[in-house]
Chains A and B, each alone.
Chain A
Amino acid sequence: EIVLTQSPATLSLSPGERATLSCRASQNVVSYLGWYQQKPGQPPRLLIYDVFNRATGIPARFSGGGSGTDFTLTISSLEPEDFAVYYCHQRSDWFPTFGQGTRLEIK
């Protein structure tokens, strides 16, 4: 099983600031890495797939990068609605796995 480790566990920032979230895989996942956003009381929503592709309707302030085992999700300028929990996800292995999540909170 491929283990995904996200850092930091919690990130405290203010609206307008830049956020960088990290995800490290225990094995090479090539480009099969995505990101999901989850707000309280809601299901997760697909943000980024295949490392850097934005899902339908996702604003351009969200961007993904990386390759192999190290990946990042960047939010260029935080909006109030961006404060949520973010999960990375790999589908390289036959059985997909999620990271443990990064909570992005308002400072």
Chain B
Amino acid sequence: EVQLVESGGGLVQPGGSLRLSCSASGFTFSNYGMHWVRQPPGKGLEHVSVIGSNGENTYYADSLKGRFIISRDNFKNTLYLQMSSLTTEDTAVYYCVKDAYYSGRGWYDLWGQGTLVTVSS
């Protein structure tokens, strides 16, 4: 079955760190760009980061100010998002998303169910 399964979300205090993981199956993970997209409760979608299929090209939303790092392990078919210096504004459901192209500049044709990150004291 073609799917993406996120893990690693939870409750974290402001200023804390968290690492999200996304396990991919049912397709050749190493052939596609991957994204993280987040959605604050009751709000719209915000693109967080993208990584190309070989892991060499990465881009981030300006609003993150260098606090997040996207990476991937093509041997483990896993995407990661390392988040640090978290604030309450980072509270959201984080979706792992497959791109239709290797570059990560295509359409988002497969979404995980999401993992909730709550930043609160």
Contacts and interface: CB of A to CB of B under 8 A. Distances in A.
A98 interface: yes
Central interface residue in A42, A44, A45, A96, by most chain B CB within 10 Å = A96
A44 B46 CA distance: 12
Interface of B: 44-47, 50, 59, 61-62, 95, 100, 105-109, 111-114
B112 A43 contact: yes
A98 B59 contact: no
Nearest to B35: A96
Interface in A58-100: 87, 89, 91, 94-100
A44 B47 contact: no
B59 A95 contact: yes
A98 B107 contact: no
Interface string A27-51: 0000000101000001111100110
A100 B112 CA distance: 21
Contacts of B59: 94-95
B102 to A, nearest CB: 14
B114 A43 contact: yes
Contacts of A101: 44-45
A95 B47 CA distance: 8
Contacts of B112: 43
Contact of B111 (A44, A91, A95): A44
Contacts of B100: 49
B109 A97 contact: no
Contact of A55 (B61, B62, B109, B113): B109
A1 interface: yes
Contacts of B95: 43-44
